[in-house]
Amino acid sequence: MSNQGNRRAEIIGVGAYVPPKVFTNFDLEEMLNTSDEWIQQRTGIVQRHWVEGDIGTSDLAVKASEEAISEAGIDKKDIDCIIFATLSPDHDFPGSGCFLQAKLDLPGIAAFDIRQQCTGFIYGLSMADALIRSGQFKNILLVGAEVHSKGLDLSPEGRNVSVLFGDGAGAVVLTAKEAKNDEDSQLFRHNLHADGSYAKELWVAAPGTGNGPSHRLSPEMMEEKLHYPYMNGRQVFMHAVKGMSRSLTQTLKEQEMTVDDVDLFLFHQANLRINDKVGEMMGISSDKVFNTIQNYGNTTAATIPIGMRDAIKAGVLKKGMTVAMAAFGSGFTWGSTVMRY
């Protein structure tokens, strides 16, 4: 950074895609022995989009990436790095970034995945920012994409988790620029955190090499439904509110800003009650928070870029605005970003 002057990263293109098939809460009532009222009261979710057929995570990512590149006004060949955030990769290996690279026909450029779950996009922004500031890359495609629907327990036993998640992808193109001052569009600051002592409060136990001497996946594990996600909802709620609010407070303080200096807040969309509580604790006016969970559910690494795309299309997010983002997810992981869009 010291050798790169005022080199900064700016988001110049935003895209998103969700599969066309909509599942409302009413569609899930009989399947999961639940109700629209129960889901909305506890989460704020009204509907979510789930894939059909052989669509995989990188397929959703292609659509979001193409829109982001188009909006950026650059040729796709100008992309020199792909960062792919997902917890639901096409396959265990290689990373979905490589599958996305092939589908975009961008051979030879750097491509890697990050596994920070719901905090994946924030971690990805921090990494892209650092790589651009260092001078290593000029144009980075950062994608968050998930296909949750193929990994959910769609029985009454899985209700508490399965009602939460949707499929979707969001992408941004970041480019290097010489910032004259803080009024120029740029990423300002991030902070990232994790506490692995809570890793098993929100996780999928199998398949994995940490399950004793047996194979990564066994019939016994499947009978125990260890291949479906488990969540300690109370722990997640408590730590999410605390982690997001503290992280965002820290980032704003380090940037010598306050809540009043921020034009728009984009929080990870896991639970509307979490975001409302964070806003309440930090004294954020509700009209400064843009939520999309009611339409898409929790799309994990994709929630913030999908929210950005929707906010732009709604005329809520405009160039020159100061934007603050915060997320919390499995790991536990959490973090925040402040930028000038």
Active-site residues, by number, are 118, 268, 298
DSSP state of 90: S
Neighbours of 112 (CB within 10 A): 14
Crossing angle of the two packed helices 96-103 and 57-72, in degrees rounded to 10: 60
Q: Is the Cβ–Cβ distance between 204 and 228 less than 8 Å?
A: yes
Which residues of the chain form beta strands (DSSP E)? 7-17, 22-24, 47-49, 81-85, 110-114, 139-146, 168-178, 186-194, 202-203, 230-231, 264-267, 322-329, 333-340
**Which residue type, as a one-letter code, is found at position 59?**
D
Q: Are 280 and 286 in contact (CB under 8 A)?
A: no
Burial (0-12, 13-18, 19+ Cβ within 10 Å), 23: middle
* CA 326/CA 220 separation, integer angstroms: 38
Backbone angles phi, psi at 261, to 5 degrees: -80, -10
Q: What share of the chain is helix, strand, coil (3-state, %, to 5)?
A: 40, 25, 35
Looking from the CA of 290 toward its CB, the CA atoms found within 13 Å total 23
